[in-house]
Structure 1
Amino acid sequence: MSCLLFLGHFVALCFWHVSAVTVESDNYDVQQLEFGEATLTCRYRLEKDQIVRLEWKKLDRNGDVSLVYFNNSLADELEKRAKMMGPNIWFSNLSREDSGKYRCEVSAPQDKRIFQEIVIQLSVLVAPSVPICDIPSSATSGSVVELKCREKEGNPASEYKWYKNGLAIERSAKAVNSSYKVDKATGTLHFNTVTKEDTGEYYCEANNKIGKPQRCPAKRMQVDDLNLVGIISAVVIVSFVIVLCGFGVCYLQRRGYFSGGKSEKENNPATQAENDFKHTKSFVI
């Protein structure tokens, strides 16, 4: 009796699973090169033969949803390079903007479970572009220096490698307490303290294993010691010029060049006294 009950529950459980719409895909992670072709598959099984509602939607990185296939028609921007093959979508001439998550939704109103969906990731693979490098032309010994390298086209994201005089800079190339650090993910070569030995030609290479690695033009970085003699000499010369200018101003002030434009009569007491005497004499006569 117990065996019959168990068998009955098992049959009921199996019937429940097959009595609802089920949706699946042949590939949930589709990767294809840019300008190539890709097919997103969406297979479904129904409890009863019926007309289903099939929709495809795209989810962007911000979680926003856009319609791809709705009311038995593709979105306008896809009509010329995509088509429906049953419930599946076939893409031609893939672009990097096609990358994202695609959701296949199937509604079967006559089944016990009337709705199910699956999500498929489409990754359009793009080779890296030529990276942009920020390399200083000169630096002073003992200072902190950072070389930067970045490219934004590659998918997946590129890893970066730095070269000096044509040789790859590896973290293990120096001692553990080395003054520099290479970040392969951000493309940064960071020197805590540069030395004259760090002088050389540097360039960076970006690689995501899609297409050929790309590198920026090499640029020389010259590292020199701080010129204390030159700094002291410059300070002495500037101080001498300031003192010389001060003496010049004092001399010109004493000569009356900064008197404010007074007349010669006002500046000569003898001439003023002579004029006063002539005026008085004329008055007496």
Structure 2
Amino acid sequence: MEGTSMCVPLLLLLLQCCPSLPVSVSTNKPRVEVHEFSDAELSCMFRTERDQNPRIEWKKRGKDVSFVYFDGQFRGAFEGRASIEGATVKLRRVTQEDAGEYRCEISAPLDSVNLGETNVTLRVLVPPNTPSCQIPSAAVTGSAVQLRCRDQQSIPPATYSWYKDNQLISLTRHANATYLINSHTGVLEFKAVAKEDSGRYSCLASNGVGKPKMCEGKHMTIEDVNVTAVVVAVIVVCLLVMVCGCGGFLLHRNGFFSRHRGRSFWISECHGAAHISRQNLNRTEDTSNVNYIPPPQEPQDFKHTQSFML
């Protein structure tokens, strides 16, 4: 009995001397990746020192910090489409708007360390959409040509492969190859196209999420340069320039572009036309009216007559 009575005080002393652990928070999956429109689980596990009813909060970090779960309720866009068990949250039918970094906070006012937190990053995966392809319909031999392929919405970003006449174009560039493919940017580049590069081209986008998507194929024709037509066109243009230049020089030399000559010519022409019109008018009046009255004299003639009479 004495031994038993001695053990009880020793046990109580040991319990008082051993410190209990303060609040601690952790997650078993700090990075979560799910497909779009599927469910996502954000795990949060905690342990407290004394507080048996700690406060649980979830927040989403972005440009601003917003509440996901606060005061026992889900907030904003998560209301009605999320549930919580312990401190672990389950989101239903996630979209790109749900992607981001979340923080689980556990507040235990009765503990010596009364606040703990852990972070979970949610990434929403999006399969490829049909890529946008830019394929020229025609090009001239020897010219540089770029074919472009791009999908802006796939997550993770898509990689691209090109097909010619439904045959995969190898990414491995041989010594005599005239093209270069960048599988990350989707650019198929020809340094100098040749006739044999003519064909129907299409591009395939894939990112490991869902099925790859291919754009509609388009035919590209490589045409030879008509050297004879180019030479003839250059000769004709040169001849026209020479003829126009010589003609302008001769006209300028003969005074056709002289300002004084042009003015005198138009003045004499106008006076001649006026004189002829006056004669025709007088002749018409002579034949149509017997009592012909001569037209009044011009002001300068009238002044001259008046000075003569004086």
Describe the superposition over 1:150-194 as per-residue Cα deviations: whole angstroms up to 9, x where unpaired. 11121121111111111111122x514633221111111122232
Please tell me the root mean square deviation across aligned C-alpha atoms, in Å.
Answer: 3.3
Return 102-111 or 157-166, whichever deviates more.
102-111
Partner of 2:277: none
Q: Which residue of 1 aligns with 2:30?
A: 28
Find 1:52's aligned residue among 54, 61, 64: 54
Find out whether 1:166 has 2:166 as its counterpart: yes
* Aligned residue pair count: 254
Is the 1:19–1:112 Cα contact (8 Å) retained in structure 2? no
Letter in 2 for 1:86: G
Q: Which amino acid aligns with 2:101?
A: K
Unaligned runs of 5+ in 2: 1-13, 273-310
Match of 2:240 in 1: 241
Distance 1:65 1:185 in 2: 34
Aligned partner of 2:178 in structure 1 is 179
Q: Are residue 198 (structure 1) and residue 197 (structure 2) matched? A: yes
**Which range is displaced more, 79-88 or 33-42?**
79-88
Counterpart residue number, 1:148: 148
Q: Which residue of 1 aligns with 2:228?
A: 229
Distance (whole Å) between structure 1 residues aligned to residue 212 and residue 267 of structure 2: 80
2:269 maps to 1:264: yes
Residues 240 and 266 of structure 1, relative CA distance in 2, 3 Å threshold: farther
Q: Which amino acid aligns with 1:52?
A: P
Match of 1:117 in 2: 117
Structure 1 distance, partners of 2:154, 2:235, is 55
Partner of 1:40: 42
Give 1:252 deviation, angstroms: 8.3
Q: TM-score, normalised by structure 2?
A: 0.70
Say which is worse superposed, 132-141 or 258-267, in terms of deviation. 258-267
3-state DSSP of counterpart to 1:148: strand
CA distance in 1, matches of 2:36, 2:90: 14
SS at match of 1:197: helix
Q: Structure 1: which amino acid aligns with 2:184?
A: A
The whole-number CA distance in structure 1 between the counterparts of 2:55 and 2:138 is 66
Relative to structure 1, the CA distance from residue 72 to residue 130 in structure 2 (aligned partners, 3 Å threshold; closer, same or farther) is: same
SS at match of 1:102: strand
SS in 2 for 1:263: helix
Alpha carbons of structure 1 residues 65 and 141: separation in structure 2 relative to 1, 3 Å: farther
Counterpart in 2 of 1:83? 83
Instruction: Find the aligned partners of 1:79 and 1:107 in 2 and give their Cα distance.
Output: 22
Alpha-carbon distance between aligned partners in 2 of 1:223 and 1:127, rounded to the nearest angstrom: 35
Superposed displacement of residue 221, structure 1 = 1.9
Q: Would you say the 8 A contact 1:108–1:115 is kept in 2?
A: yes
Distance change >3 Å, CA 234–CA 117, structure 1 → 2: same
CA distance in 2, matches of 1:250, 1:176: 58
The equivalent residue for 1:137 is: 137
Query: 2:283 matched to which residue of 1?
Result: none
TM-aligned CA deviation for residue 84 of structure 1: 2.7
Q: Distance in 1 between matches of 2:214 and 2:103?
A: 38
CA distance in 1, matches of 2:117, 2:175: 52
Counterpart CA distance in 2 for 1:224 and 1:59 is: 56
State how far apart, in whole Å, the 1-side matches of 2:190 and 2:256 are: 60
Secondary structure of the residue aligned to 2:28 is coil
Q: Which has the larger radius of gyration?
A: 2
User: Could you list the per-position Cα deviations for residues 186-210 of structure 1 after superposition, in whole angstroms to 9, with x for gaps in the alignment?
Assistant: 1111222322222211111111122
The aligned residue for residue 188 of structure 2 is 189
Structure 1 runs of 4+ off > 4 angstroms? Answer: 243-258
Using the alignment, how far apart are the partners of 1:33 and 1:237 within structure 2?
66
SS at match of 1:203: strand
> CA shift at 1:130, angstroms?
1.0
Gap runs ≥5 in structure 1: 1-10, 268-285
Shift of 1:33: 1.9
The alpha carbon displacement at 1:129 in A equals 1.0
Cα deviation per residue 1:89-114 (whole Å; 9 max; x = unaligned)?
22112112211221112122322332
Does the 8 Å CA contact 1:139/1:145 hold for their aligned counterparts? yes
Please give the TM-score of this superposition, normalised by the length of structure 1. Answer: 0.76
